[in-house]
Amino acid sequence: MGNIDNNIKSESKNVYTIFHRATGRRTGVYSRANNNIFEFSSPEDARNANICGAHKDKNEYRIAKYKVTYTLIDDDCDSDNIFIKGI
């Protein structure tokens, strides 16, 4: 088995996403490590994610709240017929 708690079959969390009001398009924030980031842990994190403060304008950008549910389908899906000695 993988390194997960097998008692957790699904987990939900809220995420926040920035949308441009005029176009309705989802807007990401560039990060050197992760390219564009589209999901944030709070509306404040979303508004403050851009160093220039571009998303602080509430007339131009809106923040949408989503409930995301992760459901465990397979905890070790890429280990076809692997035999690990001692386990």
pTM of this prediction? Answer: 0.69
Q: What is the C-alpha end-to-end distance of the chain, expressed in Å?
A: 10
Would you give the DSSP letter of residue 28?
-
Question: Model confidence over 5-21: pLDDT tens digits?
Answer: 556 678 899 999 999 99
Would you give the DSSP letter of residue 24?
-
Question: Model confidence over 54-84: pLDDT tens digits?
Answer: 899 999 999 999 999 989 888 888 876 666 6
Segment 51-55 mean pLDDT: 87
Domain chopping of the chain, boundaries: 10-71
